[in-house]
Amino acid sequence: MNKMKYDKARKQLLEKKIELEKRISKIHNHARNPLNADSAEQAAELGNVEVVAALEMEAIEELAEIKAALHRLDDGSYGICISCGEEIGTKRMAVRPESHECVDCANLPPI
Ligand SMILES: [Zn+2]
C-alpha cells in the first residue's frame, strides 16, 4: 500500500490521541476531587460527577478507536472497511481518520 497516502491521517490521529489523553487525565482528576460537605452542594456535585464520568467514558472510547486506527496504519489495514473489506474512501477518512467502517456499513448518510 501507499504509505505516504496516510501520513496526514497518522499525524491527525497522533494529535487527537495526545489531546484525548490530556482531556482524560484532566476529567479524571476532576472526578476524584473530594465532595463538598454541604448536602445541597453535594447533590450538585454528584450530578456533576455523573456528567463527568460520561464525558470520561466518551473520551476513553474515542481514544480506543484512535489507538486501533494507529494500529491499522502499522499493519497496513488502515482505510479498509472491517465489515466489507472495501476501501473506506479518502473523504470519510479525512473527516474522521479513526473510521474503521465505510459509510454503507456504518449506516451513515454519504458525505
Ligand atoms: Zn463496508
Query: How far is ligand 1, taken at its centre, from the CA of residue 38, in Å?
Result: 53
- The pLDDT assigned to 52 comes to 82
Ligand 1 centroid–CA 89 distance in Å is 10
Provide the sign of the torsion angle of the four alpha carbons 76, 82, 85, 87, taken in this order: negative
Query: Given a cut of 70, is residue 88 above it in pLDDT?
Result: yes
pLDDT tens-digit series, residues 50-69: 888 888 999 999 999 999 99
CA of 87 relative to ligand 1 center, distance in Å: 8
In the numeric block, the cell 487525565 is attached to 25
> What is the arithmetic mean of pLDDT over 78-96?
93
Alpha helical stretches, state H, 1-111: 7-31, 39-75, 90-95
Give the pLDDT of residue 40. Answer: 57
Closest CA to 6 of 101, 99, 111: 99
- CA proximity to 69, closest of 50, 93, 46, 45: 93
**How far does residue 56's CA lie from ligand 1's centre (Å)?**
29
Cell 476513553, residue located: 60
